[in-house]
Amino acid sequence: MKIVIGSDHAGVEMKREISIFLRKLGYEVIDCGTHTTDSVDYPDIAEQVTCEVLKQNIPGILICGTGIGISIAANKVDGIRAALCTNEFTARLARQHNDANILALGSRVTAVSYALEIVDVFIKTDFEAGRHHNRVEKIKQIEKKYYERS
């Protein structure tokens, strides 16, 4: 099992804790950085992580201060469904209903211990498909329509 993770400078500590947690669960963690608290731009990290998610067809985790900027950036990429989650309920539904392939977290919003619980739910929950399949397909149609225009 592989998972890719990345954060800006605001999320480095949370990324470290989540990586330890995931490795204990047996995951191979691909760390796209950043590795220090020196300031970096979250879109650069989002882009690297989305590339791995799509190339390897694996889940991803992205962290910035609020989780907002990095999820907005990730969602610009065709095929990415990044869900900013602040609790276990939204993490569960992000998988069950939205087939989210990236979990976004805000290190200045969510405590690390709670983030680990959110991650645990996200990685252990499957897409329900069924009535949600058509809705996710419609998201893909929007991507197709607007990417073809640009």
- Would you please indicate which residues are annotated as catalytic (active-site) residues? 64, 97
66/75 with CB nearer ligand RB5: 66
Collect all residues with Cβ–Cβ distance below 8 Å to 58 and sequence separation of at least 6: 2, 3, 4, 30, 52
Residue 148 vs residues 54, 79, 81, 135, 141: alpha-carbon distances, Å: 19, 14, 19, 20, 11
Site for ligand RB5 in 61-120 (CB under 6 A): 64-66, 68-69
Site for ligand RB5 in 9-28 (CB under 6 A): 10
Site for ligand RB5 in 35-64 (CB under 6 A): 42, 64
47/128 with CB nearer ligand RB5: 47
In whole angstroms, the minimum distance from the beta carbon of 42 to ligand RB5 comes to 5
39/134 with CB nearer ligand RB5: 39
Collect all residues with Cβ–Cβ distance below 8 Å to 118 and sequence separation of at least 6: 85, 86, 87, 88, 91, 103, 105, 110
Q: Nearest-CB residue to ligand RB5?
A: 69
- Give which of 101, 105, 103 is closest to 66, Cα–Cα: 105
Residues in touch with ligand RB5 (CB under 6 A): 8, 10, 42, 64-66, 68-69
